[in-house]
Chains A and B, each alone.
Chain A
Amino acid sequence: MAALASFVCGLIFGLGLVISGMTQPQKVLGFLDIFGRWDPTLALVMAAALIVSGAGFALARQQKQPMLTAQHLWPTRTDVDRSLVAGSVLFGIGWGLAGLCPGPALVNIAGLWPSVIVFVLAMTAGMILKDLWDRRVPSAIVVGEVSLSTSTDG
């Protein structure tokens, strides 16, 4: 049941990305291009998403447990560390170069455009490289034992 709910959420999320125009890199880059013809779309998308998710999360905080699982896995970390900063800079460079982030990249797979497939393969490789890199750093091995999904933010 939880998997089915997750599928439906993925479907609604993807639907939102298509309808909002955020699967189009040109619209994302238009928002990021503050020195050109600025496209405010992304700001409106984020504002609407934040209002609805903020209200929904407030409701979720009132729940004793989620409808279909044992507990809410809220991210627990609060420290702004070096990994967060470095990772966000690298992500920002890639996002600025292509105008695609993980959600829209996955949604665009349906169109079977070769450039999108190549981007998704490279993105997947980047994620796998991060996992391999973690295992070469000794301190990360200890963390790996208790790899709860709450250790990441999203």
Chain B
Amino acid sequence: MSSFDPVSALLGGALIGLASALLMMATGRIAGISGILGGCLAPAAGDKLWRFAFIAGLILAPFASGFLGHPLPTPRMPESWAITVIAGLLVGFGSRLGGGCTSGHGVCGIARLSARSIAATAIFMGTAIVVVAIMRHGIGG
């Protein structure tokens, strides 16, 4: 089930790219999930409707994928609740402080050849690789 499937990876990736392109062409917005969700939460920000609409689409996507023969697999979450909470806090705070996450920097930003996004992606990917190495192999820990 979680074996390597290049066709699904490429097809799914193309859909992610398509959604990002369409959002810009239709609404002029960047498909950065942390920015879209963060804008929903910020009390000051104005244009909220498109943000909530995008998030609703994300949350309802597994029903569409199930219909197309791709049911949502059970995610393997951290065994410790403390790690789940700490990871969630860091992902939320860090993505907002850094101006984006895997979608805003990693896809849309690199596609724009933004130096900020290329730097951000290199930093968060490098950091995550070190964290996984420490957690799984105890390297450098």
A residues sitting closer than 8 Å to B (CB atoms) are: 2-27, 29-30, 32-36, 39-41, 44-57, 59-60, 63, 65-75, 77-80, 83-111, 113, 115-116, 118-131, 144, 147, 149, 152-154
Contact = CB atoms under 8 A, between A and B. Distances in A.
A43 B82 CA distance: 29
Contacts of B99: 77, 83-84, 87, 152-154
A102 B128 contact: no
Which 7 residue pairs of A and B lie closest in terms of their CB atoms, listed nearest first?
A154-B104, A154-B32, A56-B21, A10-B57, A14-B61, A20-B12, A126-B92
Contact of B94 (A93, A121, A124, A154): A93
Interface residues of B, number: 120
Interface string B1-32: 01011101111111111111111111111111
Contacts of B43: 131
B88 A119 contact: yes
A18 B65 contact: yes
Interface of B: 2, 4-6, 8-35, 37-39, 41-45, 47, 49-65, 68, 70, 72-78, 81, 83-112, 114-117, 119-121, 123-133, 135-137, 139
B19 to A, nearest CB: 4
B77 A116 contact: yes
**Chain A at the B interface: SS class:** helix
Nearest to B44: A147
Given A6-B57, A7-B53, A45 B27 contact: no
B124 A122 contact: no
A78 B112 CA distance: 11
A115 B129 CA distance: 23
15 contacts: A11-B61, A26-B75, A52-B16, A53-B17, A69-B27, A80-B116, A88-B120, A91-B97, A92-B131, A93-B127, A101-B102, A122-B89, A129-B93, A130-B96, A149-B45
